[in-house]
Amino acid sequence: MLNFVGYISLIGLGMLGKQIVCEPSDTIDFFPNIKDNLTKLSWAHAVNDARYLEEVLSGDIMMIEADIILGTLIDDPSNLQPVMGHPPAQTSDISLQQFLQRINEFNTQTTVSKKGVKLDFKSIEVFEMSLHIIEKLYQEVSYPVWINADILPGPVNSQVKPVNASRFLRGAGPYSKTMLSTGWTTLYGGNIVEGTYTSEQLNEMVSTLMDNDVEQKVTFPVRAGIAANSKEGLIKLLKETSSKFDSTLTIWSSQGDFVNIDSLKKLILECGLNRIYLDVPKEVSDQLHLDS
């Protein structure tokens, strides 16, 4: 029999439930037509300035990928804050706060072509300074939110300092409905046209996620040119992590990176189109012919 205190706490719980206005959606629930073919999700990459953001919002792109650095706004040079930009940039014409506000506004007003976001944090400092912004975002939006950082050192002997893995995973932990995107630093492109994700690098990712009690869905961002040379390892990585993290790969590429298209296509088809997001320049996707 339920006593008075029991009733009160039930009512309390009910109200608590109603206070959650919304939370980010799962990517496939939000874009149901990509279900069996995640490569249908379309991307705008490095949307790090206000004008490009407007251009992307007015088009039919589904996911907005953008980088966040600790820097200043051009018209507010004394206020160090999370702003949109890719290192070595240190200034921007749009802050993370303004960027997300604009996307929220757009998504609330539009009835077609709503967008999701992938936020690529370039340092642990800027990520931790963004947590209160993420907290607010998390409670206000129903579109997909991906939180990305390169948390482990990767190919080919990249000297870029990874984002501190345990601090990043701890910070992102409470946001269980976001997609966690955890990758490796890379040094590739230009003269560097060879390299693979080694089994040590791949295994370290699995143990890092396990050791930090990750609960979210996870996608592994991998650089197309290097991923193309790492088929066996990446297939094994997905096998080991798919039941726990519903894991996927997000294949990305920088403009001008050398990519062995045949090998990349083999990787994609062997993993399956339901396990691969594809955020690559049009020159690369046009050559893949994933219909066959």
Ligand X SMILES: *[C@@H]1O[C@H](CO)[C@@H](O)[C@H](O)[C@H]1NC(C)=O
Binding site for ligand X (CB under 6 A): 37, 39-40, 273, 290-291
Of residues 213 and 291, the one with the C-beta less far from ligand X = 291
- Shortest Cβ distance from residue 211 to ligand X (Å)? 35
- The CA distance from 4 to 249, in Å, is 51
Q: Which is nearer to ligand X, 37 or 101 (CB)?
A: 37
Nearer to ligand X, 39 or 181 (CB): 39
Q: Would you say 129 or 290 has its CB closer to ligand X? A: 290
118 DSSP assignment? E
At residue 240, φ and ψ (nearest 5 deg) are -70, -25
Report the residue number, 119 or 251, with the smaller CB distance to ligand X: 251
120's enclosing H/E stretch is strand 116-121
d(CA 16, CA 72): 38
Nearest approach, Cβ of residue 264 and ligand X (Å): 14
The CB-of-285 to ligand X minimum distance in angstroms stands at 7
Give the integer Cα–Cα distance in Å for 49 and 209.
32
Alpha carbon 222 to its chain's center: 11
* Smallest separation, CB 281 to ligand X (Å): 14
Cα within 13 Å of Cα(74), Cβ side: 8
Give the count of beta carbons closer than 10 Å to the beta carbon of residue 134: 22
Other Cβ atoms less than 10 A from the Cβ of 60: the count is 9
Distance, in Å, from the CA atom of 3 to the CA atom of 35, rounded to the nearest integer, reads: 47
* Minimum CB distance to ligand X smaller for 35 or for 51: 35
User: Closest separation between CB of residue 36 and ligand X, Å?
Assistant: 7
Q: How far is the CB of 42 from ligand X (least distance, A)?
A: 8
